[in-house]
Amino acid sequence: MMITNQKRMAAEILSKREGRIVGIHRIWVNPDYLDEVTDAVQKEDVRNLIDDGIIVAKPIVGISRSRARKASQQKSKGRRKGQGSRSGSANSRSPRKQRWMTRIRAQRRALKELRDQGSLTPSQYRHFYLKAKGGSYRSIAHMRSNIELEGIASGGEQ
């Protein structure tokens, strides 16, 4: 039984009723009434079948975001970031400049705290500041250990 014309007519009618396009693949025809649908030749017949509920437009099926939400939640915890998930070099993922900026700002903050506490004199502060600027220290801990080697109590761990 060919009901392609009936489906096409039903799609046109339902598109006007819904106010958005209804494709022929969204048209559902009740299999118990296929003979009646086959006999429907005019648009008026198809309209009556739609009113009777024999021809119906299936609802629009969306794409669920539950999996995407779960994945993003895991990523926020630091999961799913292994070798296989990476595209781009290590430098593009966290640029050298960015790493340098975070490290130098932390070191300069620590130096300012030491100066404000009175652990460093202004000349010592300037000396260690310039060494930090030159990239002598890997981290704040490394910088503090070097300061303590010079005989200055950095006040890190007492």
* Angle (CA) 94 99 95, round 5°: 35
Element (H, E) at 93: helix 90-93
Instruction: Say if residue 98 is in the same domain as residue 52.
Output: no
Instruction: Say if residue 144 is in the same domain as residue 96.
Output: yes
Q: Within a domain: residue 121?
A: yes
Residue 153, pLDDT above cutoff 90: no
Q: Within a domain: residue 76?
A: no
Instruction: Please provide the average confidence, as pLDDT, over all residues in the chain.
Output: 94
Q: Within a domain: residue 16?
A: yes
Neighbouring CB atoms inside 10 A of 144's CB total 21
Q: So what's the pLDDT on residue 14?
A: 96
Q: Within a domain: residue 25?
A: yes
Q: Which domain holds residue 112?
A: 92-149
Q: Within a domain: residue 10?
A: yes
**Domain containing residue 52: CATH number:** 1.10.1650.10
DSSP assignment letter at 53: T
Q: So what's the pLDDT on residue 158?
A: 44
Instruction: Say if residue 96 is in the same domain as residue 144.
Output: yes
Instruction: Say if residue 9 is in the same domain as residue 52.
Output: yes
Q: So what's the pLDDT on residue 154?
A: 64
Cα gap 123→115, rounded to integer Å: 10
Phi and psi at residue 57, to the nearest 5°: -90, 125
Six-digit token pair at 69? Answer: 């939400």
More confident site: 151 or 53:
53
Q: So what's the pLDDT on residue 152?
A: 81
Q: Within a domain: residue 21?
A: yes
Cα gap 74→58, rounded to integer Å: 35
Cα gap 13→44, rounded to integer Å: 10
- Model confidence pLDDT, tens digit, residues 7-48: 999 999 999 999 999 999 999 999 999 999 999 999 999 999
Beta carbons of 90 and 81 less than 8 angstroms apart = no
Cα gap 94→90, rounded to integer Å: 6
Kindly state the greatest CA–CA separation across the chain.
102
Q: Within a domain: residue 44?
A: yes
Report the pLDDT averaged over residues 99-117: 97
**Domain containing residue 138: CATH number:** 1.10.1200.60
Count of domains in the chain? 2
Q: Within a domain: residue 85?
A: no
Residue 58, pLDDT above cutoff 50: yes
Phi and psi at residue 29, to the nearest 5°: -115, 130
